[in-house]
Amino acid sequence: MNPNIALDVFLPPTDFPSSTHVLAAKDFNGLNIGVFLVRVSTFSLRYMMETSVYRSFAPNETLTFAEQSAMASILTAHPDYLTDGSVRIVPQHWFNAYPGHRNESTGLLPFGGEHDHVTDFTEGDLLMHFPGDWKHQMGVFLEIAARHDGDWELRVDETGLLEEIDEYWQKAREDQMVIEEEKLRAEEKAREEAKVKEEEKAREEEESKKKEIELGV
């Protein structure tokens, strides 16, 4: 819908402190992979392979949305995929927006209901995802796309998207720093606990040797 938005505007800054491999969105059902971005990497290959064979290893699990549900279940089983930033959940309207519900107050298309900018397409967004029952709306939007309407094909700096993306990655950077600090504290605690155990073991061994000497063993 808006060819003026390049995909690379969504990517993390080059100086971002961790490796991000998958950018995906969530809707009211949870993870939604109608459109998602994947980095060519070992992690991405592993994640896609885990998804493709998931049904074989969990035959009794109900995968309501097929591979989408499998990908969500894998994230549940491997929460570190999210905490270490390998997979990041971004606002759905960035590149996976639903057509949404539009009426006289929200513009152009009389489909009724409430418009939610978090999940729904707003003029100037990159593209639309037509899931399930929304497919009947495609014709209307194809006509709009063919007109190259200036109200829809905004310059990226007119959309507010760049500011939103910058804010998202700044928040992600701050969150990542907190996670790394917590990780360092946990590692330090583990080292201290291991040291205490080693000292206790050494004392026990020393006491055992003393007893053996006293008993003349």
pLDDT of residue 118: 60
**What percent of the chain shows pLDDT beyond 70?**
89
Q: Which residues, 6 or more positions from 75, have their beta carbon under 8 angstroms from its beta carbon?
A: 31, 81, 82, 87
Q: Which of 109, 94, 97 is nearest to 141 (CA)?
A: 109
pLDDT of residue 76: 96
Cβ neighbours, 10 Å, residue 169: 19
Q: Which residues, 6 or more positions from 50, have their beta carbon under 8 angstroms from its beta carbon?
A: 70, 74
pLDDT tens-place string over residues 101-129? 654 444 544 444 555 556 788 889 999 99
Report the distance separating Cα 68 and Cα 44, nearest Å. 15
How long is the chain? 217
Tell me what the pLDDT averaged over the chain comes to.
87
pLDDT of residue 70: 97
Out of 59-68, 111-120, 163-172, 181-190, least confident range: 111-120
pLDDT tens-place string over residues 32-81? 999 999 999 999 999 999 999 999 999 999 999 999 999 999 999 999 99
Name the residue ranges covered by the structural domains of the chain.
7-160
Count Cβ atoms within 10 A of the Cβ of residue 81 and give its class: 0-12 exposed, 13-18 middle, 19 or more buried. buried
pLDDT tops 50 at residue 144 = yes
Report the distance separating Cα 3 and Cα 155, nearest Å. 9
AA identity, residue 202: A
Structure tokens at 24: 């995906």
Q: Sign of the CA dihedral 40, 89, 161, 140?
A: positive
